[in-house]
């Protein structure tokens, strides 16, 4: 099956480029195996690795065996433990051992009320990126677990950390919804939340311009996280605007290790893996005239 690419004779005036990025690399061995398969036998072009993930070493091993897979750092400031053993007190909850807050709500409140320390964020992000680089990973870009870098109090120190580590690309976490919601009430609340968050987009792009960083035109797939099926995939690809975009995905296997981790994405990971390794996915991409690239190409 030929790779999906821009077909100039069929689509002479429209150029659509797409990064398909798998999040949560390093979370579990089953997630790692799914991401590796979604790249080797499917359409995934990039992945973001969690420096504090329980299966970090396994992810590094798989990344080193897949030289065409762009590897970024999946910065974790919620739902995990810090890489720095000290100096991040204002980012942590009161658990023992100390952990980042569970879920995005309390973190968002801290970010919006100025109760995060930018210097601690910068130091923690540098530590997470350096752990990947020390393992031999050429880090292509940054994104963040639960998209915490959409908040200005996180974005600036995260970008300073990126520049300190020689990284120029970052995820654009703002989505243009490209699916019909008329018959999908399960997506209504999620789409309303994503739409509301676009109020941060203007300051996000201004900050990136000031700091001379690069980013795609936007993302797709955030609204349908946990609910992706072939029909939704087809709609997103057919409706993808001109430009460079990122599809956020979470392929993997729902193994015993995943059952012990706090996540809402379990059975959906196997379904995403099935879609991303299907011949249908490649056919949809080719028919839509979409050129697949990685974050290495963008940066």
- The domain locations on the chain are 16-298
Question: What is the fold of 16-298?
Answer: TIM Barrel (3.20.20)
Rounded to an integer, the average pLDDT of 13-30 is 92
Three-state DSSP state, 239: coil
DSSP state of 76: -
What pLDDT digit, counting tens, does each position of 203-232 carry?
Answer: 999 999 999 999 999 999 998 998 899 999
Q: What is the pLDDT of residue 85?
A: 74
The DSSP bridge partners found for residue 78 are none
Q: Tell which residue, 203, 206, 176, has the closest CA to residue 191.
A: 176
Beta-carbon count within 10 A of 86 CB = 7
pLDDT-derived band at 198 (thresholds 50, 70, 90) equals confident
Q: Is residue 178 a contact partner of residue 220, using CB atoms and an 8 Å limit?
A: yes
Q: Which of 11-20, 26-35, 62-71, 237-246 has the lowest mean pLDDT?
A: 11-20
C-alpha to C-alpha distances, 23 to 5, 181, 254, 278, 281, nearest whole angstrom? 23, 24, 15, 19, 19
Tokens representing 227 are 């609910």
Beta-carbon count within 10 A of 225 CB = 17
Rounded to an integer, the average pLDDT of 154-161 is 97
Beta-carbon count within 10 A of 57 CB = 12
Residue carrying structure tokens 């893996």: 273
Helix (H), strand (E) counts: the chain: 12, 7
List of residues 6+ apart from 12 with CB closer than 8 A:
none
Query: What is the rounded distance in angstroms from the CA atom of residue 193 to the CA atom of residue 253?
Result: 28
Is 105 a residue whose pLDDT tops 90?
no
Q: Which secondary structure element, helix H or strand E, spans residue 21, and what is its range?
A: strand 16-25
Q: What is the pLDDT of residue 7?
A: 44
Treating both helix axes as pointing N-terminal to C-terminal, what angle do 29-40 and 267-276 enclose, rounded to 10 degrees? 10
- Average pLDDT of the chain to the nearest whole number: 89
DSSP state of 66: -
Beta-carbon count within 10 A of 60 CB = 20
């Amino acid at each position: 099956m030929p790779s999906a690419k821009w077909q100039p004779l069929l689509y002479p005036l429209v150029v659509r480029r797409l990064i398909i990025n798998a999040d949560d690399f390093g979370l579990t061995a089953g997630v790692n195996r799914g991401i590796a398969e979604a790249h080797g036998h499917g359409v995934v072009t990039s992945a973001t690795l969690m420096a504090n993930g329980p299966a970090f070493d396994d992810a590094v091993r798989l990344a080193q065996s897949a030289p065409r897979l762009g590897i970024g750092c999946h910065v974790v400031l919620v739902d995990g433990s810090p890489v720095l053993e000290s100096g991040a007190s204002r980012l942590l909850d009161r658990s023992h051992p100390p952990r980042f807050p569970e879920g995005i709500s309390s973190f968002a409140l801290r970010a919006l009320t100025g109760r995060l320390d930018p210097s601690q964020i910068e130091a923690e992000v540098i530590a997470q990126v350096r752990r990947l680089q020390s393992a031999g990973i050429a880090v292509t870009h940054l994104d963040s677990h639960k998209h915490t870098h959409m908040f200005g109090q996180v974005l600036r120190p995260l970008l300073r950390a990126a520049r300190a580590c020689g990284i120029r690309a970052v995820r654009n976490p703002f989505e243009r919804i490209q699916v019909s919601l008329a018959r999908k009430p399960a997506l209504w609340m999620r789409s309303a939340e994503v739409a509301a968050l676009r109020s941060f987009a203007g300051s996000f792009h201004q900050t990136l311009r000031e700091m001379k960083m690069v980013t795609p035109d936007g993302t797709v797939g955030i609204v349908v996280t946990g609910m992706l099926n072939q029909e939704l995939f087809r709609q997103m690809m057919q409706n993808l605007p001109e430009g460079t975009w990122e599809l956020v995905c979470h392929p993997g296997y729902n193994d015993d290790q995943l059952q012990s981790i706090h996540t809402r994405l379990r059975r959906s990971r196997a379904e995403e893996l099935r879609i991303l390794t299907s011949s249908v996915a490649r056919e949809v991409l080719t028919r839509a005239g979409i050129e697949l690239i990685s974050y290495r190409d963008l940066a």
